[in-house]
């Protein structure tokens, strides 16, 4: 099998580390691996598959002879993606920088793999909540054209990276000892104001926009429309941070142009690659963040008719934010390109 020179930008972060876990688990065909990060992390050592790698500071020259560049996200994408493309690499980017660029495909491989071929050097990975949503919605959208979505998310601390997970752990320990907390991470906003996440729910993920929605909420709206090629799809979202470590959950109301039965929906989800049906109310079986953490597939349950509107279904979906919501989706794009000889 042909092997490829791979670079990981952001190798020391949560998504970068998950890239490494998945490359080993899925036996991705790499020849050489380059670990890249900021100047602050340069020089760190990473043990991977029996070899020690030294993390290098990312520069415009870092991508010489690299064929696949996996960007873990962040401001570095805007600075270094053009340099990587110019050096001949295909960039698969986890940041929001290029998602809404009309020249850049935004891809969930199980949903719109045909868009990968349209790339001009950069392929964007969607926001974590969007990817998880679409893994449940796509098989239903294929049954009946979706007209409207109402989404509420319950997002794990992992959405804010290692710092978010560490803060939740510290706060939980402090509160167990009766100590005061000193929040520094949540929410991310324009004000230097933070709230305790432990034993709390914060109805703000990312900064507020002029329309009263947060940036995270508008990502779900705009990215879902782009991936499904449905620019007129009506969507409203509320995103909430909750005190779990990994795996986001979403409550969804989906309205279709015709009746989609619960039985049809369950069958379609059960057959959809990358999704698992977990829906047995009689046995209190349904998806939960704890059960989906560390897993590749999303789980879907609580499927029922929306009794307030015709042709509508309610469902609940959980998926690992760091895996399907980030690193796994990006690596699957690379795997698709390898399988179809696109690199």
Which residues are part of the catalytic machinery? 128, 248
CA-to-CA dists, residue 55 to 10, 44, 61, 92, 264, angstroms: 9, 5, 15, 20, 49
Residue 58 DSSP class: -
Cis peptide before 185 (omega within 30 of 0): no
Q: Of all helices (H) and strands (E), which one includes residue 92?
A: strand 90-93
CA dihedral 343, 50, 159, 107 (to 10 degrees): 10
Q: Is 238:203 a contact under the CB 8 Å cutoff?
A: yes
Cβ contact 146:247 at 8 Å: no
Q: Specify burial of residue 304 (Cβ count, 10 A radius: 0-12, 13-18, 19+).
A: middle
Residue 121 burial by CB count (10 A; 0-12/13-18/19+): exposed, middle or buried?
A: middle
Task: Identify the CA nearest to 171 among candidates 181, 156, 186, 160.
Answer: 181
DSSP state of 129: H
Q: Is 117 exposed, middle or buried (0-12, 13-18, 19+ CB in 10 A)?
A: exposed
């Amino acid at each position: 099998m042909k092997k490829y020179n791979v670079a990981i930008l952001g190798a020391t972060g949560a998504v970068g580390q998950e890239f490494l876990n998945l490359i080993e688990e899925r036996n991705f065909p790499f020849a050489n691996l380059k670990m890249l990060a900021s100047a602050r992390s340069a020089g760190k050592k990473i043990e991977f598959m029996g070899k020690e790698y030294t993390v290098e500071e990312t520069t415009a020259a870092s991508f010489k002879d690299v064929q696949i560049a996996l960007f873990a996200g962040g401001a570095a994408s805007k600075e270094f993606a053009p340099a990587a493309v110019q050096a001949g690499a295909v960039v698969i980017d986890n940041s929001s920088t290029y998602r809404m660029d009309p020249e850049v495909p935004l891809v969930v491989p199980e949903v719109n793999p045909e868009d990968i071929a349209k790339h001009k050097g950069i392929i964007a990975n969607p926001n974590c909540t969007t990817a998880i949503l679409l893994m449940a919605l796509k098989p239903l959208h294929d049954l009946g054209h979706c007209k409207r979505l109402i989404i509420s998310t319950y997002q794990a601390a992992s959405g804010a990276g290692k710092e978010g997970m560490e803060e939740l752990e510290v706060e939980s320990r402090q509160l167990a000892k009766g100590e005061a907390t000193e929040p520094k991470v949540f929410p991310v906003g324009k004000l230097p104001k933070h709230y305790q996440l432990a034993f709390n729910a914060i109805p703000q993920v990312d900064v507020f926009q002029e329309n009263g929605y947060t940036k995270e909420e508008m990502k779900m709206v705009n990215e879902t429309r782009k991936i499904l090629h449905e620019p007129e799809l009506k969507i409203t979202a509320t995103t909430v941070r909750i005190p779990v470590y990994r795996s986001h959950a979403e409550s969804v109301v989906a309205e279709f142009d015709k009746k989609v039965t619960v039985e049809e929906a369950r069958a379609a989800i059960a057959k959809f690659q990358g999704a698992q049906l977990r829906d047995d109310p009689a046995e209190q079986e349904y998806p939960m963040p704890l059960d989906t953490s560390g897993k590749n597939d999303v789980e879907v349950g609580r499927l029922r008719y929306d009794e307030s509107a015709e042709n509508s279904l309610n469902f609940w979906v959980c998926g690992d934010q760091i895996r399907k919501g980030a690193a796994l989706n990006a690596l699957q794009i690379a795997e698709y390109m390898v399988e179809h000889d696109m690199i």
